[in-house]
Homo-oligomer: A and B are copies of this chain.
């Protein structure tokens, strides 16, 4: 996929993800968005596990925002559509749409910002060989 394209992640709502309102607890959308952006990386050719293990680079979460439209419920099929909003050697932003896979209803939309960090949470630059993944141009 090109770095503008949307990558889809499918999952089914787990019983453990509900709360006593009989809907998915709002906090449980964040791991879904995380799955979405890691799948986005994979679709662009990068296993996040390798980025962490081989390159010692991690994608720390700097900001999260979510708008909840319609609640997800136990056993629903969910699609998380993830796309890149912006990328710099130190920062990336992703956008997410979370839909019911059967009805197409928009359940939630979100955005996250991330900084690259080295182990110990020290800010780092993305290694140049990954620039292409995120569509970052090298400086002349």
Residues of chain A whose beta carbon lies under 8 Å from any beta carbon of chain B: 14-23, 25-28, 30-31, 34-35, 38, 47-49, 58, 60-68, 71, 74-75, 121
Q: Is the CB of A27 within 8 A of B16?
A: yes
Q: Which residues of B contact A62 (CB under 8 A)?
A: 67-68
* 25 examples of A-B residue contacts, CB within 8 angstroms: A15-B19, A16-B19, A16-B27, A16-B30, A18-B20, A19-B19, A19-B20, A20-B21, A20-B22, A20-B23, A21-B60, A26-B30, A27-B30, A27-B31, A38-B75, A47-B75, A48-B75, A49-B74, A60-B71, A61-B68, A62-B67, A63-B66, A63-B67, A64-B65, A65-B65
- Nearest B residue to A24 via CB reads B20
Q: Shortest distance in angstroms between A120's beta carbon and chain B's nearest beta carbon?
A: 9
Q: Which residues of B contact A18 (CB under 8 A)?
A: 19-20
Q: Which residues of B contact A63 (CB under 8 A)?
A: 65-68
The distance in angstroms between the C-alpha atoms of A14 and B23, with both chains bound, is: 16
